[in-house]
């Protein structure tokens, strides 16, 4: 593995001015926030990597280091033993350099506003929603003078070529219609729509196309930013990342994926089925015709665990990328009309009710996973929230450093619940394992489950 021994870079336009106290607070290697930034920086320097094991990435680059050097006009970064792929002829790729400072911007802002200055109220639902908005505003993502045109695309990073090509074709059709893309910023179904939209935008001579990638520290190492992302935001945790998606979205598209994709779907369905929410956020499932069975299985899982009424919240279209784009455009136009009629903001969905159990961080310890209530006695939105937490833990056990460490120390997570719900989870997870959707390149024979299901 070839590495660049030393490089020095300075910010351009992606980092706001820093105070001396902010620089001092981040530049000490003893600070937890510095370690957080180091890990995020390493993930960014591994842009477009095919590796999804955070622990292995950190181990392979144990000699990587980054120094934040204070200067009177801000900071510069001294980088040691960075991956050579981040450079061209000795110069760091511009997009990667910008992403390094975007991550620095977000981590500093969150640290000093939430912890240092106590300006974020993370104890209430309204306070968390306000914090998410302020992080996005500080990053320049919310733009008040633009019409709705943001499609969030969710889907797997471990997908076959046919699914990737289809996601790219959908992105192309969206780009032809002037629609911008938000994804989780990784590869696979997160990269495909952006790459396709970039071509569609170019053909329509749209020069300011937006390809927004939203990540968080626990997952960025396993889903390093793809090369198309031109606006990178690092949210403090997965719950704020998910809220950012939903608050920014004018329509959400779901491509085939694994447990992370199901987590996102359950999160959104918990919101849409909440009795306080009378508005809808358009949700569309799509993939190539050959993957119709994937959505049949997902639809069956959702109907069986949450009830048939949940199907009213989504539409399924397979094998027709142009029709997907037409539906997305029509949905966005409808959202535009609804928000204009109610005089609501186009750029941030303030009125959508998100329950606190979806906003507060779920820490996937073995005890927390075992304590989940997967019970038909719960209302639909609460059942979906509990299922979402279970799948969040499975994501951690597969690819996040914390979850992998937990599994190594204590063995597989034990998930308890109603026998029928657990049977449906087992059926879905086994299909993901057969389809190699759990971890990149892992076959059914080589994948070791990070979970055990028990109804007693």
Angle at 187 between CA 89 and CA 438, to 5 degrees: 135
Is a pLDDT exceeding 70 seen at residue 261? yes
Q: How far apart are CA 62 and CA 82, in angstroms?
A: 11
pTM of the full structure: 0.91
pLDDT band at 451 (very low <50, low <70, confident <90, very high): confident
Exposure letters 351-367 (e unless 16+ CB within 10 A, then b): ebebbebbbeebbbbbe
Q: What confidence score (pLDDT) does residue 15 get?
A: 56
Q: What confidence score (pLDDT) does residue 10 get?
A: 85
Q: What is the mean pLDDT of the chain?
A: 89
Angle at 22 between CA 21 and CA 26, to 5 degrees: 115
Q: Where do the DSSP E strands lie in 315-417?
A: 315-318, 413-416
pLDDT band at 272 (very low <50, low <70, confident <90, very high): very high
Query: What is the residue extent of each domain of the chain?
Result: 3-119, 146-456
Where do runs of H (alpha helix) occur along 139-282? Answer: 161-176, 192-203, 217-220, 238-248, 259-272
Is a pLDDT exceeding 90 seen at residue 31? no
pLDDT in tens, 304-331: 999 999 999 999 999 999 999 999 999 9
Is the pLDDT higher at 90 or at 198? 198
Best mean pLDDT range from 118-127, 202-211, 212-221 = 202-211
Q: How far apart are CA 87 and CA 47, in angstroms?
A: 11
Question: Which residue, 393, 425, 391, is CA-closest to 266?
Answer: 391
Q: What class does CATH assign to 3-119?
A: alpha beta
Q: What confidence score (pLDDT) does residue 278 get?
A: 81
* Percent of the chain topping pLDDT 70: 90
pLDDT band at 69 (very low <50, low <70, confident <90, very high): confident
With H, G, I as helix, E, B as strand and everything else as coil, classify residue 382: helix
pLDDT in tens, 374-410: 999 999 999 999 999 999 999 888 877 788 889 999 9
Q: What confidence score (pLDDT) does residue 223 get?
A: 76
Q: What confidence score (pLDDT) does residue 150 get?
A: 98
Q: How far apart are CA 382 and CA 388, in angstroms?
A: 10
Q: How far apart are CA 211 and CA 174, in angstroms?
A: 12
Q: What confidence score (pLDDT) does residue 311 get?
A: 96
What CATH fold (topology level) applies to the domain 146-456?
A: Rossmann fold (3.40.50)
- Longest pairwise C-alpha distance within the chain: 63
The Cβ of residue 214 has, within 10 Å, a number of other Cβ atoms equal to 25
pLDDT band at 437 (very low <50, low <70, confident <90, very high): confident
pLDDT in tens, 332-371: 999 999 999 999 999 999 999 999 999 999 999 999 999 9
Q: What confidence score (pLDDT) does residue 144 get?
A: 86
Structural contact between residues 198 and 168, judged by C-beta atoms closer than 8 angstroms: no
Rounded average pLDDT over 56-68: 83
Is a pLDDT exceeding 80 seen at residue 12? no
Q: How far apart are CA 411 and CA 427, in angstroms?
A: 21
């Amino acid at each position: 593995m070839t590495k660049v021994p030393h490089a020095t870079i300075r910010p351009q336009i992606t980092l706001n001015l820093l105070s001396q106290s902010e620089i001092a607070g981040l530049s000490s290697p003893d600070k937890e926030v510095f370690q957080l930034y180091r890990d995020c920086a390493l993930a960014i320097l591994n842009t477009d990597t095919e590796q999804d094991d955070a622990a292995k990435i950190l181990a392979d680059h144990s000699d990587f280091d980054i120094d934040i050097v204070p200067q009177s006009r801000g900071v510069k970064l001294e980088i040691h033993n960075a991956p050579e792929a981040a450079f061209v002829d000795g110069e760091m790729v511009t997009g990667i350099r910008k992403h390094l400072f975007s991550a620095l911007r977000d981590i500093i802002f969150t640290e000093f506003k939430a912890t240092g200055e106590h300006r974020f109220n993370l104890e209430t639902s309204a306070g968390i929603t306000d914090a998410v908005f302020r992080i996005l505003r500080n990053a320049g993502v919310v733009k008040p003078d633009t019409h709705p045109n943001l499609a969030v695309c969710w889907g797997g990073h471990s997908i076959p070529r046919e699914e990737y090509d289809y996601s790219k074709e959908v992105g192309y059709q969206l780009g032809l219609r002037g629609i911008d893309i938000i994804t989780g910023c990784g590869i696979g179904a997160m990269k495909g729509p952006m790459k396709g939209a970039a071509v569609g935008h170019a053909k329509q001579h749209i020069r300011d196309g937006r390809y927004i990638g939203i990540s968080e520290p626990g997952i960025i190492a396993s889903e390093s930013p793809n090369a198309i992302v031109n606006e990178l935001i690092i949210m403090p945790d997965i719950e704020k990342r998910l809220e950012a998606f939903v608050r920014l979205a004018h329509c959400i598209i779901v491509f085939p994926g694994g447990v992370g994709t199901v987590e996102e779907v359950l999160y959104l369905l918990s919101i849409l089925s909440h009795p306080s929410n009378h508005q809808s956020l358009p949700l569309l499932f799509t993939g190539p015709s050959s993957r119709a069975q994937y959505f049949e299985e997902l639809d069956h899982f959702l109907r069986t665990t949450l009830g048939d009424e949940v199907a009213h919240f989504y539409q399924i279209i397979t094998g027709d990328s142009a029709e997907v784009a037409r539906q997305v455009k029509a949905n966005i136009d409808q959202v535009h009309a609804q928000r204009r009629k109610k005089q609501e903001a186009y750029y941030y969905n303030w009125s959508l009710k998100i329950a606190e159990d979806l906003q507060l961080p779920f820490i996937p310890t073995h005890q927390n996973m075992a304590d989940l209530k997967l019970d038909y006695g719960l209302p639909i939105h609460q059942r979906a929230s509990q299922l979402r937490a279970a799948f969040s833990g499975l994501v951690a056990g597969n690819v996040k450093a914390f979850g992998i460490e937990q599994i190594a120390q204590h063995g597989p997570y034990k998930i308890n619940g109603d026998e029928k719900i657990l049977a449906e989870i087992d059926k879905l997870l086994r299909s993901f394992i057969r389809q190699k959707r759990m971890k990149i390149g892992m076959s059914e024979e080589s994948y070791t489950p990070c979970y055990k299901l028990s109804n007693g």
